[in-house]
């Protein structure tokens, strides 16, 4: 006679209902990241608007000069709406920004949204070209360094990457200008007619800025890729793969790299965010007509609508790429894709 197994649940008692988070853990985490990103972007918008308002100086006084009368300054401030409460102006600005309306430039009287549309496209083109070169090169060099770890190729790659990380981007940019543009005449600068160039002419014009960005982000991505793959290489299944006769490099490509994809995705996304957000110095060095140059020019003349719009867009791009990195890392986690 077989004994009954005590499950701890009475015959008339139903199993406890699982919460939404327990039933759909992957979807719940993705929604959580989306809500967190929206909240973070709202907080950043407050900091951007408040920080710009706290800057010393006044656009009206700068625009009219030292000989301006108090009445003339007051008229300019009233015309620009600066005489209204800060909270009122913030929510009005935020409501318009959600609708892609960033107002009118105080200095040029042009639509900020139209100017940003052109400049943002140039910055994204620059970042895209740099990413297409740096990402596969960094991953490949990282796997190569793991394959030859503690040997001469690995040491050379580490030394060169450390040197690239140590040099600031403006110094790398000026070195490239000195050798490739001044001494050898092998490269050109983006001209003011950049928007009318063909695709091939654009590629030639962005060669030096792209090379600078690649050297800046390549080393960090490569070192993080190497560290992530080395961490996976110490796993038991990697030792089993090698004992079964699988070649070292094939084991890295087929087993180690796919299982290290989550940290690699994070570091790649962070560096892609830098390629878009951190191009300010590079664009100024090469006089590139992008968002960074546009914001620097606006800061010079205290054109606050432009500064606020550029800051908000930079923050939105950075938060968006980090959110995508989190979501991709979650999707790449087998424990979340196949919960028990």
CATH for 112-337, options being 1.10.3720.10, 3.40.50.150, 1.10.10.10, 3.90.226.10: 1.10.3720.10
For 271-283, how does the pLDDT look when each residue is reduced to its tens digit (9 = 90+)? Answer: 888 887 778 888 8
In residues, how long is the chain? 340
Q: Has residue 9 got a pLDDT over 70?
A: no
User: What is the predicted pLDDT for the residue at 14?
Assistant: 52
User: What is the predicted pLDDT for the residue at 198?
Assistant: 77
Q: What pLDDT band is residue 197 in, cutting at 50, 70 and 90?
A: confident
Q: What pLDDT band is residue 267 in, cutting at 50, 70 and 90?
A: confident
Domain ranges of the chain: 112-337
Q: What pLDDT band is residue 43 in, cutting at 50, 70 and 90?
A: very high
Q: What pLDDT band is residue 194 in, cutting at 50, 70 and 90?
A: low
H-helix or E-strand spanning residue 79: helix 70-80
Model-level pTM?
Answer: 0.76
Q: Has residue 1 got a pLDDT over 60?
A: no
Tell me how far apart the alpha carbons of residues 268 and 136 are, in angstroms, rounded to a whole number: 10
User: 232: closest CA among 142, 165, 158, 155?
Assistant: 142
**3-state DSSP call for residue 111?**
strand
In this structure, the number of other CB atoms found within 10 A of the CB of residue 62 comes to: 16
Q: What pLDDT band is residue 40 in, cutting at 50, 70 and 90?
A: very high
For 136-168, how does the pLDDT look when each residue is reduced to its tens digit (9 = 90+)? Answer: 888 888 888 887 888 888 888 888 888 888 888
């Amino acid at each position: 006679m077989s004994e009954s197994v005590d499950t701890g649940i009475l015959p008339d008692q139903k199993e406890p209902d699982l919460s939404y988070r327990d039933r759909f853990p992957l979807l719940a985490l993705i929604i959580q990241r989306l809500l967190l990103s929206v909240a973070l972007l709202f907080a950043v918008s407050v900091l951007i608007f408040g920080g710009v308002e706290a800057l010393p100086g006044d656009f009206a006084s700068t625009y009219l000069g030292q000989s301006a009368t108090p009445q003339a300054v007051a008229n300019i401030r009233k015309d620009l709406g600066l005489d209204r409460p800060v909270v009122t102006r913030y929510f009005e600005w935020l409501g318009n920004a959600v609708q892609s309306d960033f107002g009118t430039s105080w200095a040029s009287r042009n639509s900020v949204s139209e100017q940003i549309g052109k400049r943002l496209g140039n910055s994204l083109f620059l970042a895209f070209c740099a990413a297409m070169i740096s990402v596969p090169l960094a991953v490949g060099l990282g796997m190569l360094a793991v394959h030859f770890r503690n040997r001469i190729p690995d040491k050379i790659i580490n030394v060169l990457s450390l040197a690239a990380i140590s040099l600031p981007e403006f110094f790398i940019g000026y070195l490239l200008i000195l050798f490739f543009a001044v001494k050898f005449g092998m490269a050109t600068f983006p001209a003011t007619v950049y928007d009318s160039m063909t695709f091939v002419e654009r590629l030639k014009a962005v060669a030096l800025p792209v090379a600078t960005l690649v050297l800046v982000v390549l080393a960090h991505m490569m070192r993080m890729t190497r560290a992530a793959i080395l961490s996976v290489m110490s796993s038991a299944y990697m030792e089993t793969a090698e004992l079964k006769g699988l070649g070292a490099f094939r084991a890295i490509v087929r087993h180690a790299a796919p299982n290290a994809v989550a940290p690699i995705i994070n570091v790649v996304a962070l560096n892609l965010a830098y390629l878009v957000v951190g191009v300010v110095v590079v664009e100024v060095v090469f006089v590139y007509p992008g968002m960074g140059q546009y914001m620097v020019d606006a800061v010079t003349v205290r054109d606050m609508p432009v500064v606020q719009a550029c800051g908000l867009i930079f923050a939105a791009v950075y938060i968006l790429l980090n959110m995508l990195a989190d979501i991709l890392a979650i999707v790449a986690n087998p424990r979340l894709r196949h919960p028990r």
